[in-house]
C-alpha cells in the first residue's frame, strides 16, 4: 500500500495543544447519535446534550454515558442514582444546541424545551425524541476528565408514530 499518512506519537510527559487538536479531528471522524441526559438533584432539573453513550448489554438492558466529572449533571447523577436519556431526532438540533452550551442556567434550564416525566419526580424526557430510557446507576468509573456512568434501564418507550431521522454529530456538526 502506497498511502501517505500523518501520524503522531503521544509523549508520556504531556499532551500538547497540537496533540489535542489532532485527536479531536481524528475522533470526530465517527458519526455519533445525539441525546439529552437529564437527572433531578435538590428539586432541580439538570440536563446536557451528549454524544458519548452506548448500549452495552441487552440482558439486562444496560447503557453507559460519559459526563464531564466537574459538571452539575455528573453530581446530579451521582447523588440521585437515576437519570434519563432522550435520543434526539434530526429536527431537534436546536434542543441539542441549547442544552449543549457550557454554563447553562440552572434555574429554568428546560423551560424552552418541551419535556415530560413518566411519573412525578422522574428525570425529564425530551418530547418528540426518537426513544426514551430511564436508568438507575449500577456503576461508575473515572476516565480522565469524565465519569462513565453505567445504567440499567428501568423504563423505556418510543412514540407510536413513525420515527423520524436521528440527529447525528459528525466532524463537529449536526447531520441527518
19-43 residues labelled b (16+ CB within 10 A) or e (exposed):
eeebeeeeeeeeebbbbbbbbbbee
Of the candidates 162, 98, 152, 154, the one whose C-alpha atom is nearest the C-alpha of residue 126 is 98
Residue 97 has pLDDT above 70, yes or no: yes
Number of domains forming the structure of the chain: 1
pLDDT for the residue 1: 58
Residue 19 included in any domain: no
Residue 145 included in any domain: yes
Average pLDDT estimate for 85-109: 87
Residue 123 included in any domain: yes
Q: What share of the chain is helix, strand, coil (3-state, %, to 5)?
A: 20, 40, 40
Residue 65 included in any domain: yes
Residue 8 included in any domain: no
pLDDT for the residue 13: 79
Supply the CATH number for residue 165's domain. 2.30.110.10
Tell me how far apart the alpha carbons of residues 127 and 91 are, in angstroms, rounded to a whole number.
Answer: 12
Tell me how far apart the alpha carbons of residues 51 and 66 are, in angstroms, rounded to a whole number.
Answer: 9
- In percent, the amount of the chain with pLDDT more than 70 equals 98
pLDDT for the residue 53: 93
Residue 24 included in any domain: no
Average pLDDT estimate for 142-165: 93
pTM: 0.89
Residue 12 included in any domain: no
Pick from 90-99, 123-132, 155-164: least confident: 155-164
Full residue range of the structural domain in which residue 52 is found: 33-175
What is the grid cell recorded at 142? 473515572
pLDDT for the residue 170: 83
Burial class from Cβ neighbours inside 10 Å (0-12, 13-18, 19+) for residue 65 reads: buried
Q: In what order do the strands lie in the sheet with 168-170?
A: 32-33, 168-170, 173-175
Residue 100 included in any domain: yes
pLDDT for the residue 121: 92
Residue 104 has pLDDT above 80, yes or no: no
Amino acid at each position: 500500500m502506497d498511502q501517505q499518512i500523518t501520524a503522531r506519537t503521544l509523549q508520556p510527559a504531556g499532551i500538547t495543544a497540537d496533540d489535542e487538536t489532532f485527536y479531536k479531528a481524528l475522533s470526530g471522524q465517527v458519526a455519533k447519535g445525539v441525546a439529552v441526559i437529564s437527572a433531578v438533584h435538590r428539586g432541580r432539573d439538570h440536563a446536557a446534550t451528549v454524544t458519548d453513550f452506548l448500549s452495552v448489554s441487552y440482558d439486562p438492558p444496560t447503557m453507559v454515558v460519559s459526563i464531564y466529572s466537574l459538571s452539575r449533571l455528573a453530581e446530579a447523577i451521582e447523588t440521585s442514582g437515576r437519570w434519563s436519556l432522550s435520543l434526539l431526532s434530526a429536527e431537534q438540533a436546536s434542543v441539542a444546541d441549547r442544552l449543549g452550551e457550557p454554563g447553562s442556567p440552572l434555574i429554568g434550564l428546560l423551560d424552552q424545551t418541551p419535556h415530560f416525566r413518566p411519573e412525578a419526580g422522574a428525570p425529564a424526557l425530551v418530547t418528540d425524541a426518537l426513544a426514551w430510557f430511564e436508568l438507575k446507576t449500577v456503576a461508575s468509573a473515572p476516565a480522565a476528565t469524565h465519569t462513565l456512568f453505567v445504567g440499567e434501564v428501568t423504563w423505556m418507550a418510543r412514540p407510536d408514530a413513525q420515527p423520524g431521522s436521528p440527529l447525528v454529530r459528525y466532524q463537529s456538526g449536526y447531520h441527518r
